[in-house]
Amino acid sequence: MPYRVTFVCTGNICRSPMAEHIVRRHVEEEGLDVEVDSSGTGHWHVGDPADERAVATLRRAGYTSAHRARQFEAAWFDRYDLIIALDQGHQSDLRYLAPDEEAAAKIRLLREFDPDAAHLDVADPYYSRNSAFEEVREQIEAAVPGLLDHVREQLKNAG
């Protein structure tokens, strides 16, 4: 059974789909048995594609971008091995939904995996300038090596 990772932001149209596509490419390149997807804490954008600025940012950097937004459901805690919040508000929302301590222990902040991160939140670019999407991409990419180290360790311990 593959290791399952999901990224969670507010509406699942900016930060979490960007993280999903960036990390998916890296796990595929390494041939890791990992499934990657994303969702949001809110319902506002369910069924919508990713924000066009997020799509453009991903494509410029050579990533895929096909996406439909969905809302995270409490029943999904059993489905995932690692649930990655993009900011502390999402982390708090997810902890509220967690049915028990074991489920809550699966929740991490993305920037925890970046040893150089001065702040743990990936700022929401939605109401910001277009360059904010590039900053989000850079923050996600900076966390990828540490995240992949963690995933490889989890896979090794499971095997």
The residue from 4, 95, 124, 152 that is catalytic is 124
CB 86 within 8 A of CB 57: no
9 is annotated as an active-site residue: yes
The residue from 9, 93, 114, 137 that is catalytic is 9
95 is annotated as an active-site residue: no
Element (H, E) at 145: helix 131-158
Output the DSSP codes for 32-97: --EEEEEEESSSTTTTPPPPHHHHHHHHHTT--------B--GGGGGT-SEEEESSHHHHHHHHHH
The residue from 14, 15, 121, 137 that is catalytic is 15
59 is annotated as an active-site residue: no
Which of the residues are catalytic? 9, 15, 124
